[in-house]
Structure 1
């Protein structure tokens, strides 16, 4: 009898040991931007590993590098979940590199802004953060009420604009076209306007750090930028204001998607759901890492000021549809190069 009990106990131990090993062997590989990874580890990766009994492997790089890797490994994917801008994600979806998300398995979708629930269509991605883009200006020297105010005579030789090749370039043209009052996805009128005033532009900047330096050195009094530069601009100790143009502001969104052929789609959806949770979104917002899409996140005024936060801010953003970006970006670039960059 004792021998039978010992044998049964040994068999049970083997089963439990195998199950434990199986849980520890569960791995989720994610592809993300390289910024703020220590903050993500503390707020997201480590807590999820503890929750799921799994291991998260992080791969990072630029969007173009990571998209190229997806294409190369399409037949045998090495990544389960990928974070992209909405346009990059739609490009990946169009190349049949992504799989639809089962929304029934992502209950926290019910807590996020409507615009973030299905920004690509067909459930191919979900927004996890967004940001506003507007005009920053020296409030002691100028007043900005419209996107067209950038080209007022008194601002000639004192403005900077984002280059067409950066993320802020096309959305600036989007808002200029809207301000002109002509619907045209090619942004022909907006590009003509910039071309007409190109000699009044100090520089077409390529990075936010360039803009900060230009304002600090008082070479420009107004420019277009994303909200993510606002904390650095506030540290300049200068009277800099964030414009609320009558046409609204624009901005961008980053999304999470499941890679087609992911080894564990169930775990991937659990991870996406956790990222969208009020708990994680609150931590990332408190750390000034991401502007939250979860509507249950609450922030004090000093932190809200640093991010794109709240229903009013969200509703004021005119998002450039990712499909329009993909369909027209070559034409934008060609027109820009021939009229502005020549």
Structure 2
């Protein structure tokens, strides 16, 4: 059976297993805010079977974290029932009062996911996938291999590096790593950290704002290294097979993509049902197999080849560096201005 066909069978099996409540009225519409990345696979694996289960309509807001959170803030947390954000942005949303606590009794599958993912930001939404921010590079062009965050400043990487924009999930992490490169805490000594950021400029071809933009930079040969999130790895390797994930001596940085219910959500019960659905073992298994998201459900089993693409397994997750997003969010506003002074808008 074709892989995606298998995915649909599993997804439909999940539909049957989870349809413990009567079908909801066709008049219901679930509005989801997310990135729109991997849309065709998500339609096949998640959306089509969920529509079948809930007998509801689904509409979407797409865009990057910053744009979508800004829209949600302007509307005072209304207009969306389910909101996908990386943890740095969902933390901002929590601090702005845009999300409501979830009712965990309505999300029974939450008990089957890693403890780290169950309540990463307290009483708010769970993480549906755990990822990493690290460095990817073309092993045929970069020699010696990249083995440390400090390698970003190597002279042999001149005009060959792409950094995430400062308003992306990974952008502020560049500032933290620049501080470490300079031997300081970026929160305590931003001057030294941004001096180190400026020292990266000769190596930087372009800052990217979306995963697809960064993938294209590799595809066209414009860059041979980048700071990236691991969910992009499979697609980069599909375009440039010699690209590898760097084994960094300091470790990669944990990212948790969360799913929350905004305070102005209309379909709160349906939103809980959807969150429970995407945390099910069947959906989590299929999303991982199809190269969409790393699983948080502990019952998911992957082959070594599949696991190599993901932040997968208790040992890997335990070795990740964590970020204090409350401190980062407090500092980020000033960092944006300083970043733009170096790289431009």
Give the TM-score, by structure 1 length. 0.80
Q: Is the 8 A contact 1:274 1:280 kept in 2?
A: yes
Q: What's 1:35 paired with?
A: 37
- Matching of residue 184 in structure 1 with residue 186 in structure 2: yes
Q: Output aligned runs, 1:261-300, within 5 Å.
A: 261-300=264-303
Distance between the aligned counterparts of 1:49 and 1:309, measured in 2? 29
- Deviation track 1:151-207 (CA, whole Å, cap 9, x = no partner) reads 234444443433324333212222343455533336723322121342343444445
Q: What's 1:315 paired with?
A: 318
- Deviation track 1:30-66 (CA, whole Å, cap 9, x = no partner) reads 3332233332233223333444x44142222224454
Q: Is the 8 A contact 1:27 1:54 kept in 2?
A: no
For structure 2, the 5+ residue unaligned runs are 1-21
Relative distance call for 1:96 and 1:164 in structure 2 (3 A) is: closer
Q: What's 2:305 paired with?
A: 302
Q: Is the 8 A contact 1:146 1:179 kept in 2?
A: no
Q: What's 1:129 paired with?
A: 129
Displacement of 1:267 after TM fit? 3.1
Displacement of 1:28 after TM fit? 3.3
SS in 1 for 2:321: strand
Distance between the aligned counterparts of 1:138 and 1:34, measured in 2? 27
Displacement of 1:256 after TM fit? 0.9
Q: Is the 8 A contact 2:153 2:199 kept in 1?
A: no
Displacement of 1:99 after TM fit? 1.0
Q: Output aligned runs, 1:1-342, within 5 Å.
A: 23-51=25-53, 53-62=54-63, 63-74=65-76, 77-121=78-122, 123-140=123-140, 141-178=143-180, 180-185=182-187, 188=190, 189-209=192-212, 211-212=214-215, 214-215=217-218, 220-236=223-239, 239-339=242-342, 341=344
Instruction: Please identify the structure whose Cα radius of gyration is greater.
Output: 1
Q: Is the 8 A contact 1:174 1:187 kept in 2?
A: no
RMSD: 3.1
For structure 1, the 5+ residue unaligned runs are 1-19
Give the TM-score, by structure 2 length. 0.79
